[in-house]
Amino acid sequence: MNLIIDIGNSSSKVAIFKGKEIVKYKTFDKITLPNILPFTNDFDISASIISSVIEIDNRIQAVISYFNSLILTHNTALPILSNYKTPKTLGKDRLAAIVGANNKFLNRDILVIDAGSCITFDYFTNGNYSGGRISPGIQMRYDALHTFTAKLPQINFSNKHFMIGNDTNSSIIAGVQQGVLDEVDEGITTFIKENPESIVIVCGGSHKFFEKHLKNSIFADPLIVLKGLNIILEFNAKK
């Protein structure tokens, strides 16, 4: 059994894999050894990998030491080619998502959109990871409007959605949420036009919002990063 841990900015996803199948999954607010041990009690963990977009502190290090985890870094061997010029600064979750998507859709051009704290676009074309985009996520846009203006209220992301607002709150919701939909739809349309027969995958905490409201056809797979990490772990075990 493989223990897979994806540590994000706001939460962390943990899964146990048997082969390529997820047999247990949970989201944690924080990764600590006392949290993880009960999650793994009923399983014989033979290998583990950790991807983190935050600094690895003592609590995370305790998990790494206990499970002898592989830490995904820019030096970790990957089953794909990458043209990224600064691999050391590339978000490891972005790379893992591309690995998972490529494994699921072999020999296809792929765009992975991760809708989390930030919204990232990652492109896999002609058999290579070629880079992507990073922009503020939905909640970050709401926070910025409140923080950097004198009177606009704090709005939190919800299921409400407006094309046009008729008061300040609904106008902010329309501006943020419809604005981000227009941005993402345009990015998808351009990619598909330039790469016919390509695949678009959306993951991340806000994936349901995009799955519901985007005009373009997409595949929603919120666990694609975990699947990619499992593939990377298996790939390194064979080296």
Q: Report the pLDDT value the prediction gives residue 158, as an integer from 0 to 100.
A: 82
> What pLDDT is stored for residue 216 in this prediction?
86
**Residue 228 maps to a domain:** no
Residue finishing a domain among 106, 125, 140: 106
The confidence score (pLDDT) of residue 175 equals 95
Three-state SS sequence of the chain: CEEEEEECCCCEEEEEEECCEEEEEEEECCCCHHHHHHHHCCCCCCEEEEEECCCCCHHHHHHHHHHCCEECCCCCCCCCEECCCCHHHCCHHHHHHHHHHHHHCCCCCEEEEEECCEEEEEEEECCEEEEEEEEECHHHHHHHHHHCCCCCCCCCCCCCCCCCCCCHHHHHHHHHHHHHHHHHHHHHHHHHHHCCCCEEEEECCCHHHHHHHCCCCCEECCCHHHHHHHHHHHHHHCC
Instruction: Report the C-alpha gap between 230 and 4 in whole angstroms.
Output: 6
- The one catalytic residue in 6, 93, 122, 221 is 93
**237 lies in a domain?**
no
Cα separation values, 196 from 100, 108, 111, Å: 21, 10, 12
CB 45 within 8 Å of CB 38: no
Q: What residues make up the domain containing 56?
A: 2-106
Give pLDDT, residue 7. Answer: 93
Same domain, 82 and 144: no
pLDDT one digit per residue (tens) for the chain, 239 residues: 999 999 988 889 999 999 999 999 999 999 999 999 999 999 999 999 999 988 899 999 999 999 999 999 999 999 999 989 999 899 889 999 999 999 999 989 999 999 988 999 999 999 999 999 999 999 999 999 999 999 999 999 988 888 899 999 999 999 999 999 999 999 999 999 999 989 999 998 889 999 999 888 888 999 999 999 999 999 998 86
Tokens of 134: 């990073």
CA distance 55 to 101: 26
Nearest by Cα to 132 from 169, 164, 93: 93
**Would residue 221 show up in a list of annotated catalytic residues for this protein?**
no
Sequence-distant (6+) residues with CB within 8 A of 6 are 12, 13, 14, 51, 93, 96, 225, 226, 229
Looking at the fold, whether 137 and 121 belong to one and the same domain comes out as yes
236 in a domain, yes or no? no
Q: How many domains are contained in the chain? A: 2
Same domain, 214 and 164: yes
35 and 102 in a common domain: yes
Comparing CA positions, the residue from 139, 146, 148, 107 lying closest to residue 124 is 107
Q: What is the CATH number of the domain that holds 85?
A: 3.30.420.40
Q: What is the pLDDT of residue 162?
A: 85
